[in-house]
Chains A and B, each alone.
Chain A
Amino acid sequence: MRQAEIALFIAKRMLSALPLLLGVVVVNFLLIQLAPGDPITVLVGDNPVSEEYLNQIRAEFGLDKPVWEQLWIYVVQILHGNLGTSYSRHQPVTELLLDRAGNTLKLTLTAILLATVVGGLLGVLAARFRGRPIDAGTQTVTLLGFSVPEFWLGQILILLFAVNLQWLPSGGAYSIRTGDAGFFATLNYLILPAVALSFRYVALISRMTRASLLEVSNADFVTAARARGLSDGGILRRHTLKNAAPPVITVIGYNFGFILGGSVMIETVFSWPGIGRLLYESIGSRDYPVLIGILLVISVTVVIANLITDIVHMLIDPRVGQKA
């Protein structure tokens, strides 16, 4: 019976994500239409191009047709994976993005992992030793995490570790000599950017972990478990951790958009060859197709991340999706 519930929930959530996705596409489309210059410029730029190329673009995107049809065509093109062509690099946008996506994911996922471990640990310690120095220390770190601009933190880390101490490289994802030689070669280059990117998340996660743990430790069902003779350790394992987890997991999932935004900044500071760096470069070169393409991809990713978080939440907590 539970399987049926789960399947139904997933179906419903996916269905309600569709309007969001549609909204994202429409916003993108609007930006193309509203951007200075006509849509041709947005899709092709003001590089001199051949007449046939212009006609090809016109045909592809139906630019001489009424707006509604254009939107439809746009949607169809997107579903086919056609996001236009970068004119400064003469490559299809989709190709560009796919090239770089891997690197961005490497960075983001590492940062999330790091933040979860560090943030979780800090949160647990702060809750356990509530009121004592480590609690205050964690709360300070949390406040700082929300106040310090991540890109500046990146710069400071570079100053400290790359310039001053010369322990770590200051940019790039791999040295010219070794090339993209796999995970461990990249590790050196990954550390500083991942740390800088994770800082804000550490703040979020540690705060939520602490709050969640404290709330659960005071919960009535913990008292009831004690009344049955359970030891503190047993309560921790069987009740506290499981009940404290859902809010933390949802916090991680629902803030994925922030981490993506942060990665844009961090990739720029560290010249990390990901989508964020591409964004920076494309802004500089006014490469509109790439910009719009990136916006679309990132928005869609966030919608999907939220969807996944909803589903994971539902799997952990049987109450989600039920009528009260």
Chain B
Amino acid sequence: MTETLLRVENLQVETRGRRRPVRLVDGVSLEVGVGEIVGLVGESGCGKSMTASSILQLFPTDSVRLAGGEISLKDAGRLDQMSSDQLRKVRGVRIGMVFQDPSTYLDPLMTIGKQVAEGLRGHLPKSQHPARVLELLKQMGLPDPQQMMKRYPHELSGGQRQRVLIAAALALEPDVLIADEPTTALDVTIQAEILTLLKSLRDRLGLGILLITHDLGVVAEMCDRVYVMYAGRVAETRDVESLFAEPRHPYTIGLLHGTLSPDTRPEDMFSIPGSVPDPRAMPAGCRFNTRCPVALDKCFADQPPLIDVTGGASACWRAEEDTIGQAWDQTAKEENNVA
């Protein structure tokens, strides 16, 4: 493992307001190292975006807050304990962030050039801004950067806008880039371009990238290591080869069976029955218990910790059993026989 840049330990995010607080992220830990692309994957509502937002405390709404845990950045200390002024010095400078929908994350009334240069204020003399912006736009593979600087966001395509946002995020050469579903809102062909771009940035600049996504295909293509989240907690964390070759959590296995890939046979496909539990009424024990085909009594009583397995760890009481990979075989047969 390379040197750790960013470490999150036991993160807790909960709602704030008049009602009783609801825990949306409950004890998530992860690490990103120099030059690593780390994936954070899970379905809608699992808390992955909340986790990403909590690092720089850029929650999209006032109704959630950081409730516990430690977030540490190399040579900067504890981000969770910083004042807003201190955090501001980290944002853009040490950690950059890109988001999901490039059409809403750009100010429609400001030119591209100005927006990319925004972060440079106070760090680079104004006279040098245009040159730097040009350099960045070129780096991102944008055509005709000179003209592009004077354009407005609505004149650009989705892919171009996302490149602009990445440029803006990397303007001050941060060590870490948090990318929250950067390709979800884009066409499939453009997705590939952006992902390639991210990879090349990692290669060239030694960026550590935390890539949030719901798409296992993206994980397979991009990531070195991955954290699978479920219902506010980490279900499994492995290096990518191990995860796909030999997943060791019934949820992960279920997810993989739901994804069509060259290796999947149609008769092996199914979707996980049931639905994610209500965050206000989380079950005792393992959160996946009611949907799990191989749950034990223990799973309804005690929440499993992350248990070490090859290439990572899995939060399942049965993680070390080698037959865990067949957890869904019965279900798959049933579903596909009925069909």
Contact = CB atoms under 8 A, between A and B. Distances in A.
Direct contact of A and B (CB under 8 A): yes
Interface of A: 218-221, 223-231, 234, 238-239, 242-243, 316-319, 322
B107 interface: yes
B96 A227 contact: yes
A229 B104 contact: no
B105 A238 contact: no
A231 B60 CA distance: 17
B91 A226 contact: yes
B107 A221 contact: yes
Given A228-B119, A230-B118, A223 B99 contact: yes
Nearest to B96: A227
A227 B91 contact: yes
Contacts of B60: 218, 220, 223
A234 B91 CA distance: 14
Interface in B87-136: 88-93, 96-97, 99, 101, 104-110, 118-119, 121
The majority secondary structure among interface residues of chain B is: loop
Given A219-B104, A223-B60, A229 B92 contact: yes
B106 A227 contact: no
B259 to A, nearest CB: 29
A221 B105 contact: yes
A322 B152 CA distance: 12
Contacts of A243: 107-109
A220 B105 contact: yes
Contacts of B90: 229
A227 B152 contact: no
27 contacts: A218-B60, A220-B99, A220-B101, A221-B106, A221-B107, A221-B108, A223-B58, A223-B60, A224-B168, A226-B91, A227-B92, A227-B96, A227-B97, A227-B169, A228-B91, A228-B168, A228-B171, A230-B119, A231-B88, A238-B118, A239-B107, A239-B110, A242-B110, A243-B109, A318-B108, A319-B108, A322-B154
Contacts of A322: 154
B152 A220 contact: no
Interface residues of B, number: 31
A230 B93 CA distance: 11
Give the one of B99, B118, B119 with max A CB within 10 A: B118
Give the one of A219, A229, A316, A322 with max B CB within 10 A: A229
B216 interface: no
A223 B109 contact: no
B9 to A, nearest CB: 22
Contacts, number: 77
A220 B104 contact: yes
Nearest to A324: B154
A216 B92 CA distance: 22
Interface in B145-200: 152, 154, 165, 168-169, 171-172
Nearest to B103: A220
Interface of B: 56, 58, 60-61, 88-93, 96-97, 99, 101, 104-110, 118-119, 121, 152, 154, 165, 168-169, 171-172
A223 B93 CA distance: 16
A19 to B, nearest CB: 29
B275 to A, nearest CB: 28
Nearest to A239: B107
A317 B108 contact: yes
Given A224-B97, A228-B119, A229-B172, 11 more contacts: A220-B60, A220-B104, A221-B108, A225-B118, A227-B169, A228-B96, A228-B168, A229-B119, A242-B110, A243-B109, A319-B152
A221 B92 CA distance: 14
Nearest to A245: B109
Contact of A227 (B56, B61, B108, B121): B56
Contacts of A220: 60, 99, 101, 104-105
A312 B73 CA distance: 48
A122 B169 CA distance: 36
A228 B106 contact: no
B185 to A, nearest CB: 11
B6 to A, nearest CB: 15
Given A229-B88, A230-B118, A239-B110, A224 B105 contact: yes
A38 to B, nearest CB: 56
Contacts of A228: 91-92, 96, 118-119, 168-169, 171
A224 B168 CA distance: 9
Nearest to A319: B154
Nearest to A230: B118
A31 to B, nearest CB: 44
Nearest to A225: B118
Contact of B154 (A219, A227, A239, A318): A318
Contacts of B172: 229
A217 to B, nearest CB: 10
A316 B97 CA distance: 29
A243 B88 CA distance: 23
B75 to A, nearest CB: 17
Nearest to A226: B58
B308 to A, nearest CB: 35
What 3 A-B pairs have minimum CB-CB distances, sorted nearest first? A228-B119, A229-B92, A220-B104
A165 B178 CA distance: 66
Contacts of A224: 97, 99, 105-106, 165, 168
A313 to B, nearest CB: 12
Give the one of A220, A228, A239, A243 with max B CB within 10 A: A228
A225 B171 CA distance: 12
Contacts of B105: 220-221, 223-224
Nearest to A227: B97
Given A230-B118, A238-B110, A318-B154, A221 B91 contact: no
Given A224-B105, A224-B106, A317-B109, A229 B169 contact: no
A229 B107 contact: no
Contacts of B89: 229
A317 B121 CA distance: 25
